[in-house]
Amino acid sequence: MCNGLVERFNATLKTCLRRLCSEQPRKWHRYINPLLFAYREVSQESTHFAPFELLCGRTVRGPMHILRELWTKEIKEPDVKSSYEYVLNLLERLDDTLNIAHEEVEKAQGQQQHHYDRTAKRRKFSVGEKVLVLLPTDSNKFLMQWKGSFEIVTAVGINDYRINMGGKKKSFHANLLKGYIARDQDASQATTEERPSTSSCTIPAASVTVIEDLEGEHFNDSDCEALSELGEWGSEEIVNDLKYSDELTPDQRRQLEEVALIYSSILSFCPDTASTEEHCIELTSSIPVRQRPYPVPYAMRQTLGDELREMEDLGIIRKSSSPYASPVVVVKKKDGTNRVCNDYRRLNKLTIFDPQAMTPQADIFQGMEKDQYFSKIDLSKVYWQIPLRKEDILKTAFVTIDCHYEFQRMPFGMMNFGATLTSAVKKLLCRKDNVVDYIDDLLIHTETWEAHVKTLSELFKRFQEANYEATIRAMTDELKIQPYQALNVI
């Protein structure tokens, strides 16, 4: 139970055996020998050698090897050697094979450590600090719970600490420890004084859920992208705050300011309803997706409620009576702030995939070598600018502890969001060869200044006709700033 390599091999063997005996499960024992032979003649990922090659110093002729020789007629005649020559060559071959295998294993271990360290968090504690210890419960040894608080007596090595547990000193690894934060006595006393003093007054315990950066074992990077973010929006863009290149002449800057002033109605963070595209949600099942609301921290409930009410006032969401219900989850960012998202992962599993492809990054920068002027435009909250098909609105319903809402415009995080966005932007940029798109970013590239101003005006006019809102992040840089930097592509 304590040898990880052996347990990993046992798990692999069981998985292969389960698939081999799926038709005749009662005869599983008859598959063990051929399965072990097949396992030993396949190259291992870390060493790049098959176990047979490391053990015997040669490639073992298995059934597939013999079949290949029969088909290709490539049968090699064995070399005639004396016993002395054969033993010396075998020893030399085994020694070289083991050296190469050791080098490959070190490379694989370094790569595995690099992947692990990307999400690993170092835990450091100081002597005298209060900590909680992860220990089995009294009733079930396989059920763990945090117990404490206990005081750290000494540090043992890098990751081990000796804890004082009721007079007994025991050593624990840092992964089994968690810092204990004592309740503020002053705040606790003030809260107690404000609460009515009745003998029947009780304080119910509450459980809250906060996902820390979605990097644990239950969430990964793709899950994080699949969550629809709420908040960080609603303030209007001011034309005077647009960013211009310092290398522009005063006359060029004045022309850009005039264009921005003419189309100031579209330069905003407040999303409007576009008229070029509708987002459709085609499902493989008519059974509604229903989930219970996730617990939300009490400190976040007021913020969440304010954001939802503001979205409702802007017509992005509305109260719902839909049979669908996706939960809302609070995600803790790396900087310590919280982000409120919709979790549509179950609904996405039932959604029919739209094969509309985005423009490849390599094709975006083709034909820009002669261009001198570049402008980057960001479509403001474009996923909230594209309306939903009426019969699909009920499928976007999400539930909180207090309310049940549904989106009237396309929420971010749903499957085919990128396909719908790409289709809408391509319709918007029809017959505009000097404008390229990547998701919700547009890059205008021209050789002359006059053509650049004209293209900006025509593009803003299309925005205005289609009710798209945009924000200009980097206006017209000289060719010194490479196009790759303009779109932040590495």
Strand-pairing partners, residue 230, are 340
Query: Other CB atoms closer than 10 Å to residue 435's CB: what's the count?
Result: 21
| Exposed e or buried b per residue across 372-386, where buried means at least 16 C-beta atoms within 10 angstroms of its C-beta | bbbbbbebbbbbbbb
Distances (CA, A) of 409 to 122, 225, 270, 311: 42, 19, 13, 11
Q: Secondary structure of 435-487 in the HEC alphabet?
A: EEEECCEEEEEECCHHHHHHHHHHHHHHHHHHCCCEEEEEEEECCCCCHHHHC
Say which residue the tokens 């409620």 belong to. Answer: 305
Distance CA 310, CA 437 (A): 30
| Contact status, residue 421 vs residue 383, Cβ threshold 8 Å | yes
Phi-psi region of 339 (alpha: psi -120 to 50; beta: other; left: phi over 0): beta
pLDDT tens digit at each of 490 positions of the chain: 567 778 888 888 899 888 888 888 888 888 888 888 888 888 888 888 888 888 888 888 788 878 888 888 777 776 777 787 878 888 888 888 888 888 988 998 888 888 888 887 778 888 989 999 999 988 888 888 898 889 999 998 888 999 998 888 999 998 899 888 776 555 445 444 544 443 333 333 333 333 444 443 344 444 444 455 554 544 444 556 677 777 788 888 888 888 888 877 777 666 667 666 788 999 999 899 999 998 877 777 887 888 888 888 888 889 999 999 999 876 766 666 666 688 899 999 999 998 887 777 777 777 777 888 888 887 767 777 888 889 999 999 999 888 899 998 888 778 888 888 888 888 878 777 788 887 778 888 888 888 888 888 888 888 777 766 554 443 443 323 333 333 333 2
- Nearest Cα to Cα of residue 226 among 69, 17, 416: 416
Q: How far apart are the first and last CA of the chain?
A: 45
Angle at 266 between CA 262 and CA 268, to 5 degrees: 120
Q: Where are the domains of the chain?
A: 30-71+87-110, 130-179, 227-486
227-486 has CATH 3.40.50.1980 classification: no
Identify the three-state secondary structure at position 57.
Answer: coil
Question: Is 453 within 8 Å of 460 (Cβ atoms)?
Answer: no
Cis? peptide before 149, omega within 30° of 0: yes
CA distances from 278 to 314, 408, 440 (A): 18, 11, 16
Tokens matching residue 99: 């050296």
For 145, 168, 177, 457, the CA distances from 139, given in Å and listed in that order, are 11, 22, 21, 73
Q: Among candidates 302, 347, 354, which has minimal Cα distance to 326?
A: 347
Report H helices in 120-154: none
Q: Which two tokens stand for residue 31?
A: 């598959």
Beta strand 130-136 pairing with 177-179: antiparallel
Phi, psi torsion values for 140, nearest 5 degrees: -145, 120
Closest CA to 207 of 146, 336, 296: 296
Beta strands in 98-167 (DSSP E): 130-136, 144-156, 160-165
Identify the CA nearest to 151 among candidates 133, 171, 131, 177.
Answer: 131
CATH code of the domain made up of 130-179: 2.30.30
Strand 326-332 and strand 338-343: the pairing is antiparallel
